[in-house]
Structure 1
Amino acid sequence: MTQPSAPTGETTKTDILVAGAGSTGLAAALAFARSGLKTALVGRIPPPLPGRTIALFEASVRFLDALGALERVKALACPIEGIRMIDDTDQLFPVPELTLRASEIDLPALGVNISNDELVGVLLDLVRASPEIQFIDADIADYEVNGACAAALLADGRRLEADFIVAADGRNSRARAVAGIDVKEWTYPQVALTMMLRHEFPHDNISTEWHTRSGPFTLVPLPPRDDAPHRSSLVWLMSVDDARRRLAKPREELEYEIEDYAKSEFGAMKIESDIGQFRMGGMQVSQHAKGRLALVGETCHIFPPIGAQGLNLSLRDVADLEDCLASVDLRNERELSRALVRYDRHRRADIGFRTNGVDVLNRSLIIPYLPVDLFRGASFIAVAALGPLRRAVIREGVLPHLVLPRMMRHPVRAHAG
């Protein structure tokens, strides 16, 4: 429930303090409350994100099921039964089309696609309905982190003490800065445009990616509406100049260009949402936990929206941290330190693997260098031709073998039937 206003200077205590009320922070609060810890969530609900959807793969679907959110998410989402990748770089040697299907690893779907705002709404409703979560809709002005405890100093003068802080306060995290954790950042010469579309022909629950010289052009299936039986979300990477030019176009002209990029496979296109835009960049941190604080989500990793890894990785952060702290006395510094060493080791491996993979794929598209084209093409050919390799790639994408925390291990009951 939302915490009512309190007198300035009041001090309250909790076991876990989650900083940041975006989708990652909301999920973290639900996960720790579920494990029996007194949990406080502090932050502002983020504003709507135009045209943004989230593709949640099997491990994340299982996690949402453990949180009690899956039924509501599925009612608003569209299943993704396969991912189709098409090389559209006009490289010297043709590359075969590659399709990865859920049926190859005995799943009805690889995951689901849902509007970012609708996902936040579902998680927020669950947080507000949870008697175990103290939700404080306020800004955090500063933090105190020492050996004995941690505290958040709210902008209105309140002080919230906790045994442990989960920092989900985003790429400009104040909590991370106070903890003294170093950040490495980089940029790409790209902007992503995001929007929701209705189109003439069905998507058959398949996500389709055209890999172009400016980056991926990806259509991800959305559920139908009464007046729009065929809908998809679009994530379109392009140069800064192209983004500026396209945003200045009349909607009808942009719709024709989108149809052209999709090779008219989905027929006429109609933009039904506002258009979002964000600059492409990446970020890693020197460590994922320090003292009585751990980082999750975009406080510790950012990379382009390629392969739908972003929020899936963030939810693995949350589930992994919950797993590492599950049997720990948070007041015992030695036990806590061991648990956080384990968390940092897990996240370094998982995040590093995904970040490097996405970075290599993105750069291989935007840099027209023949040896790189040949390597990418050979990789596509190998995955398309070799069934065991293809199935291994699919499993790694939706059920990563490096880290699979307990809240992501148990198949959803509906999947077994």
Structure 2
Amino acid sequence: MADKRDLLILGGGLVGMTLALAAARKGISSHVVDRADPADLTAEGFDGRASAISTASWNLFRNIGLAETLEPHGCRIENIAVTDAMRPGRIDFQPEPHEGTLGRMFANRQLRLALFEAAKSEELIAWYSEAEIVDRQRGEHGVSATLADGTSLEASLMVAAEGRGSPTRDGAGISLAKWDYRHRAIIAGLIHEKPHDGVAWEIFYPAGPFALLPLLDDEAGRYRSALVWTVDEADADGVLKLSDRAFLAEVEKRMDGLFGALELNGGRSSYPLGFHHTAKIADHRLALVGDAAHGIHPIAGQGLNLGLRDVGALVEVIAEGKRIGLDPGDAQSLARYEKWRGLDAFMVALATDGLTRLFGIPGKLPSAVRRLGMAGVQRMPSLKRWFMDEARGMSGDLPELLKG
């Protein structure tokens, strides 16, 4: 007899596996299928990227039982400093003492380790790693996927969580708006002389944002940060080929001595930057989550957090539907998910795209206008509060799993 489950989650990355665990906490079962080998994804040096986990996303991790495992590995973000090329007129976002932090920084590897370990012991999750899907079907009464080894998996709802190049989304014929920024993000770890004090820096240059994200000190007690440096695509290969000494000289120039002497912590990597947003995030017995639905610029560190909001909303509509006897793939539940998440995701995507273009205008006059506007925001507590709530993910109609 086939092991039919509630969800068939295609993609077991950060968003897909969080969805499976969040669903399990509500008694919702799932198959999770992923092409990758978990051992590769959690290997030292596989992915030097780090993610800013907003307050709302941290609430989600706490509500699904991961906070105790993750807490020792996260660096608290106490403040966000935004500046136009280190010139006067910066904005500082700092929450009130009773509000806690603006979020936490985690190495992506550490997030994967915690998620994968929790999934192994969860009976409501059937996990298929290193698996190739050769066929996907969505029928009137359920969905299925056939693996290369002949295994057939059945469920009520198919969820595409495969990332930007989602074959499930494309196979469903869901159209999307997209463009290439012709920029690349250079990722590197830095060890520095002065402490970061929990401050995340977003330094805007015409070529693109230059972000310094606070990490925990290493085992030797040295101060560390993650660098995400956006460069023009035409310059990216040249930047990657620089010697360590030359690379650090370019980084130091853009930091204006902020953290004192620098050294590299690990290697360098890069990935191209683009924008895409689907026309819809739900179809017949199909829901899209995370980058399968919306890929945005990392300018404000909201990409993963946007996907985790999808997770909270989808789990909530399915759980509430099941309580009144609805099938997890019911069209009413999916319509509610579409309405709930579609507009929010679109507005965040537009905002990040707009910021990228606004700060990319070169010249002294545009810079002066931007700095004047930033100085105005700095003097307006209500406007700063709105921006902080957005950064913390605590604005709008939040799913229950993302509330404190």
1:369 offset after TM fit, Å? 6.9
Match of 1:25 among 16, 30, 33: 16
- How do 1:287-326 residues align onto structure 2 when only pairs under 5 Å count? 287-326=280-319
Determine if the alignment matches structure 1 residue 284 to structure 2 residue 277: yes
Per-residue CA shift, 1:193-251, capped at 9, x if unaligned?
Answer: 01111101000001011111111111110001122420000000011232211111111
Match of 2:210 among 195, 214, 217: 217
| Structure 1 portions without partners, runs of 5+ | 1-9, 412-417
Partner amino acid for 1:113?
Answer: M
In 1, the alpha carbon distance for the partners of 2:328 and 2:74 equals 43
Q: Given the two structures, how large is their TM-score scaled by the length of structure 2? A: 0.93
1:142 offset after TM fit, Å? 2.3
Contact 1:166-1:296 at 8 Å conserved across structures: yes
1:75 offset after TM fit, Å? 0.9
Match of 1:34 among 25, 33, 36: 25
Partner amino acid for 1:317?
Answer: D
Contact 1:141-1:153 at 8 Å conserved across structures: yes
Cα RMSD for the two superposed structures = 2.1
For residue 103 of structure 1, what is the aligned residue in structure 2? 96
**1:373 and 1:351, CA in 2 relative to 1: closer, same or farther beyond 3 A?**
farther
Match of 2:59 among 55, 58, 62: 62
| Structure 2 portions without partners, runs of 5+ | none
Match of 1:177 among 155, 163, 170: 170
Match of 1:85 among 79, 82, 85: 82
Secondary structure of 1:16's counterpart equals strand
Partner amino acid for 1:84?
Answer: A
In 2, the alpha carbon distance for the partners of 1:255 and 1:50 equals 20
For residue 73 of structure 2, what is the aligned residue in structure 1? 76
Per-residue CA shift, 1:85-128, capped at 9, x if unaligned?
Answer: 11118xxxx75111101227x32211100101111111011101
For residue 401 of structure 2, what is the aligned residue in structure 1? 407
For residue 6 of structure 1, what is the aligned residue in structure 2? none
1:164 offset after TM fit, Å? 0.9
For residue 385 of structure 1, what is the aligned residue in structure 2? 379
* Identity between Structure 1 and Structure 2 (%): 31
Match of 1:338 among 328, 332, 352: 332
In 1, the alpha carbon distance for the partners of 2:196 and 2:278 equals 38
Partner amino acid for 2:272?
Answer: R
In 2, the alpha carbon distance for the partners of 1:227 and 1:312 equals 31
1:19 offset after TM fit, Å? 1.0
Partner amino acid for 1:352?
Answer: F
Secondary structure of 2:226's counterpart equals strand
In 2, the alpha carbon distance for the partners of 1:400 and 1:77 equals 19
Match of 1:153 among 126, 146, 150: 146
The number of residue pairs the alignment matches comes to: 396
In 2, the alpha carbon distance for the partners of 1:271 and 1:378 equals 35
For residue 112 of structure 1, what is the aligned residue in structure 2? 104
Range with greater deviation from structure 2 (214-223 or 325-334): 325-334
In 1, the alpha carbon distance for the partners of 2:298 and 2:219 equals 29
For residue 353 of structure 1, what is the aligned residue in structure 2? 347
In 1, the alpha carbon distance for the partners of 2:184 and 2:165 equals 19
Per-residue CA shift, 1:303-355, capped at 9, x if unaligned?
Answer: 11111100000100111111111121498479821221111112221111111
1:356 offset after TM fit, Å? 0.6
In 2, the alpha carbon distance for the partners of 1:370 and 1:231 equals 33
